Chains A and B, each alone.
Chain A
Amino acid sequence: MHLTVHHPDAVTTRQNSQPTSLNHLTPGERGTVETIAASSPSLRRRLLEMGLTRGTTIELIRVAPMGDPIEIAVRGYRLSLRREEASSIFVKKSK
């Protein structure tokens, strides 16, 4: 019943050991934060301060009806980000 729009990048090889961008997760999938590769230092700091530090578990909850932004669960709360910001967050997918 849940209609989700997948980002084009979502179809990739599934290697669990390699860090992959948050955009490659599908709703319901979890991962732990590896690194944040944001180009702007203030954006990087903001993401870190919102709790996306290394080793933190995040779950992709859903994608907005028009494919962007996305909603994630982190540290017990919900955060929405655009695909653009999500692409700089690298995670290790949990099995």
Chain B
Amino acid sequence: MGAAVDIPVRRIAIIGNPNAGKTSVFNALTGLHQKVANYPGVTVEKKEGKITFDDGTSATLLDLPGTYSLNANSPDERVATEVLLGRREDTPPPDLVICVVDASNIERNLYFVTQIIDCHLPILVALNMMDIAERDKITIDTKRLSELLGVRVVPMIASRGIGVSELRAAAAMKNAVSARSRQWTLPAPVQAEYDELREILQRDGRLSEPLAFHEAAMLLTSPGALHDHEDRFSPEVIAHVKKDHQKLDFLGYDCQSLFVESRYDWINRICSEAVTKKSLVGLSFTDKLDRILTHPVWGLLVFLAVMSLIFHTIFSWANIPMQLIGGFFNWVGTKVVSVTPPGDVQNLIVQGALAGVGAVVTFLPQIMFLFLFLGLLEDTGYMARAAFLMDNIMRKVGLHGRSFIPLLSSFACAIPGIMSTRTIESRKDRIVTMLVVPLIGCSARLPVYTLLIAAFIPTKKLFGIFSLPGLTLVSMYLLGLVMALGMAWLFKKTLLRGEVPVFIMELPPYKRPSLRSVLIQMWERSLQFLKSAGTFILGVSIVLWFLASYPKIEHGTSAEQLERSFAGQAGHLIEPLIKPLGFDWKIGIGLIGSVLQREVFVSTMGTIYNIQDADKGQGNVSLLDRLHSDTDPATGLPTFNILTAICLMVYYVLAMQCMSTVAVVRRETNGWKWPIFQIVYMTALAYGVTFLVYRVGLFFMKG
């Protein structure tokens, strides 16, 4: 290749408060040239893109997690701070920082800008959401603002593409942004100590200027910092800081407040010159909406209506592409059968690989729809209101209001639920939510419930109104929900205790969603799901196929083949283990097959009972008959009765039988620890509760 000179690529970081429209700006600048990875060692998403300037040159654009301050509270915020200060080895510090500022909420957004200015980083302010500011009668003199701040300010409406080319042009200008020094001031005694400490850190601690600036402020303002970072500083520095604390406390200075207040004082002075707010006549748009949407009666009704609409849409619309995809994989299967010679290779392709990939891809439409709706809820600002409405319930089990929507969306599928826990700030709350989300009854369980209910629950009516089959189904969903909340409470009390639950959540103004941003995010998340689940499922599916097909027997039906196979032997092997739950070896095989995905149970049962195409409608009718008439050869009693069916359903409510979920939890928690714990606790829970139900049931049936 020769002498390609390594020209350093410019690195631009986008940063800003949550809800400032950072993602819209990022998407507008990069289009679809994005790649998403994780920061090594943490579960924080690293999003990079490429920005191309008018002169043909380009730069790497890094989308840093939204954060309110450089004093990190959550893992996301910590990563943002570390990158900006050049503390992460995997990510070099940026050459330019684009700070996205919400024009309709300028004071608090500027607070963060002052922190970045203090780090001496070249900064460019993208004054976003000018339309919302205008709607709220806020006028900003951007030229004056720019003069007062000492940095360039580009007004824009990123969601509509307005101001994007201006921002790109401003970012292209190299060295045009001079780092400005701090302009806010502290009371003299505090300032003196601060300057002294900064110099010590720069001289003895060999810290760069911005880093010394940040560290000195941190040491002076947070009493806990000394303990947390004792190894980072020399004993002399520690002693000096302790003396400073004593002295300033004695003088009556509250450093923590002073550093924040002084910044806000400066911001107030700037805003009094550059920002004019006309007082609104009547209520603002957001207030008018909130009077309905957070109303004790109407608010909850609207919430129910929105959720029902989403579920209805998912189940009715997603069904069409799901059937098409299912049909497509069947078609490919038959094509493969017609062009390849029958035998092991053909079986491997059709029953192993295609079945596995099909299992993942078939659920993709549902998952994409969920991502679409979750994205819309987030982008319009409604998600925060949902959390506001539901927080009191979630608080009782020790969780954050933000955990409610992930739980709820898991009634369709746990995967988007787990991936949407990213909006939960506290790491422990997030893990607890991920742990309990798969207990909620997802749509893959429905075929199992439907089969068993149709076969064994009499179609009677209770009190003349409630049909028994319907009631059973509702009970199963309720059991999942109650267990999820109960386990969340338990985990917060025991395993993941300690963190003070804090609920400080911004309620952003309502706005028209940016469909582009929502669609890009939906696409990204769906790809992530395919990547993390795809290969994994393919492997598991092939292993399961092998277990169900070998060793080969010479003659016999497919049922006999399955019974003699490794899977069949395993079914027999685990029979003593599942006997206490009222399950026989046939159900055992079904459970083994369900390791991949719950609904596989139906087709496995079909094979065992020698019914072709059990997934098809007419096949089910004969499968129902077979399940009914099957008897235990030893006792002559039916294998299946209403109690077995209920026990089996309870087991399916509580057990972890979805490899896609395992793969996604592994990805989101960055390791095997939590998914393995999840499998263990859910299996134990399923076993325990099913055992209990079976014993109690037996008692009543005998009695």
Which residues of A line the B interface, CB within 8 A?
Answer: 2-3, 5, 36, 40-51, 53-54, 56, 62, 64-69, 71, 75-82, 85
Contact = CB atoms under 8 A, between A and B. Distances in A.
B257 interface: yes
Nearest to A35: B257
Contact of B500 (A40, A66, A68, A76): A40
Contacts of B297: 3, 65
Contacts of A77: 104-105, 108, 506-508
Contacts of B478: none
Nearest to B277: A76
A58 B31 CA distance: 40
B257 A53 contact: yes
B260 A49 contact: yes
A82 B394 CA distance: 12
B300 interface: yes
Contacts of B286: 78
Contacts of A66: 392-393
Contact of A47 (B294, B504, B505): B504
B395 A82 contact: yes
B504 A79 contact: yes
A45 B506 contact: no
B223 interface: yes
How large, as a class, is the contact surface on chain B?
35 or more
A42 B500 CA distance: 10
Contacts of A68: 391-392, 395
A80 B393 contact: no
Interface of B: 68-69, 71, 73, 104-108, 111, 138, 221-224, 256-257, 260-261, 264, 277, 286, 290-291, 294-297, 299-300, 384, 388-389, 391-393, 395, 401, 500, 502-509
A42 B260 CA distance: 13
Given A3-B296, A67-B392, A80-B503, A51 B257 contact: no
B388 A51 contact: no
Contacts of A36: 257
Contacts of A75: 105, 107-108
B103 to A, nearest CB: 11
Contacts of B300: 65
Contacts of B104: 76-77
B504 A64 contact: no
A56 B264 CA distance: 10
B270 to A, nearest CB: 13
A76 B503 contact: no
A62 B504 CA distance: 15
A39 B107 CA distance: 26
Contacts of A42: 73, 222, 224
B256 A71 contact: no
A49 B69 contact: yes
A84 to B, nearest CB: 8
Contacts of B391: 64, 68-69, 80, 82
Contacts of B256: 41, 44-45, 48
B272 to A, nearest CB: 13
A43 to B, nearest CB: 6
Contacts of B294: 62, 64-65, 71
B81 to A, nearest CB: 13
Given A76-B104, A76-B107, A78-B286, 6 more contacts: A46-B69, A48-B260, A65-B294, A65-B295, A80-B504, A85-B502
A77 B291 CA distance: 16
Contact of A5 (B105, B296, B388, B500): B296
Contacts of B107: 51, 75-76
Contact of A46 (B291, B401, B504, B508): B504
B108 A41 contact: no
B285 to A, nearest CB: 13
A49 to B, nearest CB: 5
Given A53-B261, A65-B300, A76-B277, A46 B393 contact: no
Given A65-B299, A65-B300, A79 B507 contact: yes
A54 B261 contact: yes
Nearest to A78: B507
A80 B108 contact: no
A2 B299 CA distance: 12
Nearest to A36: B257
Given A62-B290, A64-B391, A45 B222 contact: yes
8 contacts: A3-B295, A42-B73, A46-B69, A64-B389, A69-B505, A75-B108, A77-B108, A80-B507
A32 B327 CA distance: 65
B503 A85 contact: yes
A71 B105 CA distance: 16
Contacts of A40: 500
B619 to A, nearest CB: 48
Residue in A3, A47, A54 whose Cβ sees the most chain B Cβ within 10 Å: A54
A7 to B, nearest CB: 12
Contact of A45 (B71, B290, B393, B508): B71
Contact of B506 (A48, A67, A79, A82): A79
B73 A46 contact: yes
A54 B257 CA distance: 8
Contacts of B503: 69, 80-82, 85
Given A62-B290, A71-B507, A76-B106, A51 B264 contact: yes
Given A43-B500, A53-B264, A64 B222 contact: no
Contacts of B505: 69, 79-81
A71 B388 contact: yes
Contacts of A47: 504
B68 A69 contact: no
A89 to B, nearest CB: 11
Contact of A49 (B111, B138, B393): B111
A66 B297 CA distance: 11
Contact of B108 (A2, A45, A50, A64): A50
